[in-house]
Amino acid sequence: MSIQPILSARGLVKRYGKVTALDHADFELYPGEILAVIGDNGAGKSTLIKALCGAVQPDAGEIFLDGKPVHFASPMQAQEAGIATVYQTLALSPALSIVDNMFMGREIRKPGIAGSVFRALDHGAMRDFAREKLSELGLMTIQNIDQTVETLSGGQRQGVAVARAAAFGSKVIILDEPTAALGVKESRRVLELILDVKARGIPIILISHNMPHVFEVADRIHVHRLGRRLCVIDPKTHSMSDAVAYMTGAKAPEGMEAA
């Protein structure tokens, strides 16, 4: 491909004592795509993702965002650079409202003295913005934006977390097992939500164990094995059994795309 990857990594190494979690792993995410990352337990895919989102600092190797080398000392730095992560735990505060959660750490203050001296929050502006973002993603079945997150269903919570990730000018969104805790119907809504986000031009890294979901929404599938990228496959030309076979080492990839 001649297009420049929006996020890429080359030769990432991460060792925990004698265990090598990442063994010269490469990674590429292209603009506008959904890239699924699959791998067996212990293959090092979560370490790869943690390195990309700043939670882990690799021992060697380089990460490039928009072609420029970047070093993230913390998830906050990655977030500021435009890499938003939706964790499996969602990182929402159940007792706080949807608005409070969406703006957690990025609150808007009132203009003028009320905001600069008295630090008053502009609840009105935050509500409007949150409502706008949730409607854009078709999530306005959530009627009252001031209701607490604990009153929402699992799928709605996922929606709020994704909306938060997508709302603040993110260049890349990482979704960690977004459907793992959801029922059939709610999973479907979340998959539609993922496609909605993609349609808005934000590329997505999707980590999932759910092969049907991966094959349905992903444009490309990054298969991780033994700490490195084994291959990248096209879900249109490969079957789920192929993917599982590569992932578990039952079959060596042939005719794989140039990585």
Partner 1 sequence: MSETGSPKGQEFEHMLGQSDKRVAQFDDRPKGLVEKLQHMLHGNPTLVPVIVLVAAIVVFGLVAGDRFFSPFNLSLILQQVSIIGILAAAQSLIVLTAGIDLSVAAIMVLMSVIAGNLAVYMGVPPVLALAVAFAGGTGAGLMNGFLVTKVKLPPFITTLGTWSIFYALNLWLSGAQSIRSQDIDKNAPLLKFWGEGFAFFGAKVTYGSLLMIAVFLGLWYMLNKTAWGRHVYAVGDDKEAAELAGIQADRVLLSVYGMAGLVCAIAAWAAIGRVGSISPQSFYEGNLQSITAVVVGGISLFGGRGSILGALFGALIVGVFQSGLRLANVDVLWQVFAIGWLIIIAVAIDQWIRKVSK
Cβ proximity to partner 1, 28 vs 242, nearer residue: 242
Select from 67, 94, 111, 112 the one that contacts partner 1 (CB under 8 A).
94
- The CB-of-128 to partner 1 minimum distance in angstroms stands at 18
By CB neighbour count within 10 A (0-12 exposed, 13-18 middle, 19+ buried), where does 168 fall?
A: middle
Select from 10, 23, 32, 87 the one that contacts partner 1 (CB under 8 A).
87
Binding span for partner 1 by CB under 8 A among 6-14, 33-41, 118-126, 251-259: 118-126
Considering the rule CB under 8 A, would residue 106 count as an interface residue with partner 1? yes
Task: Determine contact, residues 228/60, Cβ cutoff 8 Å.
Answer: no
Select from 101, 158, 170, 179 the one that contacts partner 1 (CB under 8 A).
101
Binding span for partner 1 by CB under 8 A among 8-16, 21-29, 87-95, 226-234: 87-95
Instruction: Report the relative pairing of strands 220-225 and 228-233 from DSSP bridges.
Output: antiparallel
- The CB-of-175 to partner 1 minimum distance in angstroms stands at 14
Select from 111, 112, 124, 212 the one that contacts partner 1 (CB under 8 A).
212
Tell me the residue type at 11.
Answer: G
Binding span for partner 1 by CB under 8 A among 10-18, 24-32, 44-52, 239-247: 239-247
Buried b (16+ CB within 10 A) or exposed e, 70-104: bebeebeebbebbbbbbbeebebeeeebbbbbbbe
Residues 165-204 contacting partner 1, CB under 8 A: 184-186, 188-189, 191
Considering the rule CB under 8 A, would residue 104 count as an interface residue with partner 1? yes
DSSP-derived letter for residue 150 is G
φ, ψ at 14 (rounded to 5°): -140, 125
Considering the rule CB under 8 A, would residue 57 count as an interface residue with partner 1? no
By CB neighbour count within 10 A (0-12 exposed, 13-18 middle, 19+ buried), where does 16 fall?
A: exposed
Cβ proximity to partner 1, 47 vs 79, nearer residue: 79
Tokens of 149: 């997150």
Select from 23, 125, 215, 226 the one that contacts partner 1 (CB under 8 A).
215
Q: Which residue has the tokens 């603009």?
A: 31
CA distance 156 to 193: 11
Binding span for partner 1 by CB under 8 A among 2-10, 32-40, 115-123, 223-231: 115-123
Angle between helices 123-136 and 154-167 (to 10 degrees): 110
By CB neighbour count within 10 A (0-12 exposed, 13-18 middle, 19+ buried), where does 107 fall?
A: middle
Select from 58, 82, 203, 235 the one that contacts partner 1 (CB under 8 A).
235
Q: Note the residues at the interface with partner 1 (CB under 8 A).
A: 75-76, 79, 85, 87, 89-96, 100-101, 104-107, 109, 118-121, 141-143, 150-153, 155-156, 184-186, 188-189, 191, 211-212, 215-216, 235, 239-241
